[in-house]
Amino acid sequence: MSNRVLDNIVAIADDIRAQADEAESIGRLPDEMAKGMKHAGVIRMLARKKYDGFESHPREFAETVMKTASIYGSAGWVAGIVGVHPWQLAMADPRVQEEVLGTDSDTWQASPYMPGGIALPVDGGYIMSGRWQFSSGTDHCDWIFLGAMVGDKEGKPLMPPQSLHVILPRADYEIVPDSWDVVGLRGTGSKDIIVKEKFIPDYRVMDGNGVIDGTVAKNYGVTETLYKMPWSTMFPLGITSATIGIAEGVLAAGIAYQRERIGATGTAIKDDPYTLYSLGEAAAEIDAARQQLLGNVDRIWDLVDAGKEVDFAQRAEGRRNQTRAAWRAVRAADEIFDRSGGNALRMDNPLQRFWRDAHAGLHHAIHVTNTVYHAAALSSLGPDPQGPLRVMI
């Protein structure tokens, strides 16, 4: 089946590349780049058909994000993160779905989900305040998902913790200017968000733990395989796809740069067996990372599509494979960059930007390996991991 959105992205690749320097300078996607991505439909891939979404297979979404990121890392990153939000919105109260997408199916939604706010229960909803970091693509979004903890009147989280995913319109939060000055993924505009004592009606609030363990989807009664997919498969998918796509960008830029390059010893790279070996090995590793991620999402999809339960051990195994795919791709990208000589460091060489962006991608919390590997290994031995080992799985 043809992926028409991927074809649309390929068609505007030159436009995206041409605006990359501007994005790096202003610290967000230029308006024209965001407009082109909207027209391409990348953010509608996981949205419901009811709102002119495509309900695409997650593999197609991942492939499209990878391609976008291989053209310009920050564009792919925004596509991967913002593109997942319509998937979660499909499990929210119909009233908020209508508010967000009812009049404009191209309305983008930002995040983050980290619990940077405290929500105090009141009649009909919550009063919430807080500050959040890393809201990628937020300048182009009119709604946002924010993570919060249910709190008491003193502003302290209740115990045991109760996490929420809260949906707010643009009028209810502040984007902090100049809060995104970083070494990589500069064009993502991942700025800070502030909310000050805003009322959130109940229907705009989702149970955070229920989103992650699938309870929300079950209670909502979704029937489509896409919306029964585990959060631990879908949310990381866009982020890791972008990271692998950026590594593919390193590979493409590295090959283009090395094609006519003469090494420090006066030998053409085409005649240097050591560099060629490293390029070949790195290319294989990046492709292996790509196939590992896509194979993982296919495996989970097939389980869900067959009506089978995806248990914690399977979710943990999926997260293990997803995080490993990101790390192996970036480590392979290092091999390419490290063998590209001093001129690879120059700011007019796109290779250095892809390399910086790849490393920035690994810094997302979804790519932290320690508890994920621990949980996957422990599950394989029989015990059911608890506490921190269940976070984001």
| Residues 193 and 176: beta-carbon distance below 8 Å | yes
Residues 262 and 349 both lie in one domain: yes
Question: How far, in whole angstroms, is CA 75 from its chain's centroid?
Answer: 11
The CATH number that applies at residue 180 is 2.40.110.10
How many structural domains compose the chain?
Answer: 3
Distances, alpha carbon 301 to alpha carbons 17, 179, 247, 256, in Å? 33, 38, 25, 36
* DSSP state at residue 259: T
Structure tokens at 143: 């709604």
Q: Does residue 200 sit in the same domain as residue 256?
A: no
Q: Say yes or no: 241 and 144 in one domain.
A: no
d(CA 334, CA 330): 6
The answer to whether residue 118 is domain-embedded is yes
User: Looking at the structure, do residues 266 and 315 belong to the same domain, yes or no?
Assistant: yes
Pairing of strands 115-122, 163-169: unpaired
Calpha distance 74→246 (Å, rounded): 9
Are the C-beta atoms of residues 362 and 333 closer than 8 Å to each other? no
* Any domain includes 170: yes
Is residue 375, in this structure, part of any structural domain at all?
A: yes
Report CA 231 to chain centroid distance, whole Å: 12
Task: Give the range among 186-200, 255-269, 307-321 with minimum mean pLDDT.
Answer: 255-269
Residue 355 falls within a domain, yes or no? yes
Q: What is the CATH number of the domain that holds 45?
A: 1.10.540.10
The CATH number covering residue 283 comes to: 1.20.140.10
Say if 212 falls within a structural domain. no
CA distances to 141, 167, 191, 212, 386 from 113, in Å? 15, 11, 14, 11, 21
Q: Are 28 and 22 in contact (CB under 8 A)?
A: no
219 is a domain residue: no
Last residue of a domain, one of 51, 74, 101: 101
Confidence band for 183, pLDDT divided at 50, 70 and 90: very high
For the four alpha carbons of 185, 28, 40 and 49, in that order, the dihedral sign comes to: positive
| Residues 199, 178 contacting (CB under 8 angstroms) | no
Write out pLDDT tens, residues 87-142: 999 999 999 999 999 999 999 999 999 999 999 999 999 999 999 999 999 999 99
Local structure of 269: helix, strand or coil: helix
Contact 326/245 with Cβ under 8 angstroms? no
Reported as a pLDDT band with limits 50, 70 and 90, residue 155 is: confident
pLDDT of 230-283, one tens digit each? 999 999 999 999 999 999 999 999 999 999 899 888 889 999 999 999 999 999
252 lies in the same domain as 315: yes
* 255, 360: one domain: yes
Residue with tokens 């489509």: 224
Structure tokens at 91: 């499990």
User: What is the dihedral angle through the alpha carbons of 256, 35, 114, 218, rounded to the nearest 10 degrees?
Assistant: -110
Is omega for the bond preceding 160 within 30 degrees of 0, making it cis?
Answer: yes
| Two tokens, residue 339 | 């063998």
Question: 297 exposed, middle or buried (CB, 10 Å; 0-12, 13-18, 19+)?
Answer: buried
**Does 27 score more than 80 pLDDT?**
yes
Contact between residue 86 and residue 53 where contact means Cβ atoms under 8 Å apart: yes
Q: Can you read off the two tokens belonging to residue 389?
A: 């080992």
Rama region for 266: left / alpha / beta (φ>0; ψ in -120 to 50; rest):
left
* 216 within some domain: no
pLDDT tier, 173 (very low <50, low <70, confident <90, very high otherwise): very high
Mean pLDDT on 159-165 = 92
**Co-location of 307 and 196 in the same domain:** no
Q: Band of the pLDDT at 322, cuts 50, 70, 90? A: very high
Separation of alpha carbons 387 and 211, rounded Å = 17
What's the pLDDT score for residue 1? 44
Last residue of a domain, one of 101, 121, 152: 101
162 and 25 within one domain: no
Query: Could you tell me the end-to-end alpha-carbon distance of the chain, in angstroms, rounded to an integer?
Result: 31
Same domain, 283 and 168: no
Domain extent at residue 273: 229-390
Q: Which of 71, 101, 131 is the last residue of a domain?
A: 101
Whether 221 is covered by a domain: the verdict is no
Instruction: Specify whether 40 is located in the same domain as 160.
Output: no
Same domain for 296 and 150, yes or no, is: no
Q: 118 and 146: one domain?
A: yes
User: Cα 191 vs. chain centroid, distance in angstroms?
Assistant: 15
Q: Coil, strand or helix: which one is 357?
A: helix
Q: Looking at the DSSP assignment, which residues form a beta bridge with residue 129?
A: 118
pLDDT of res. 2? 62
Sign of CA dihedral 339, 337, 60, 303: positive
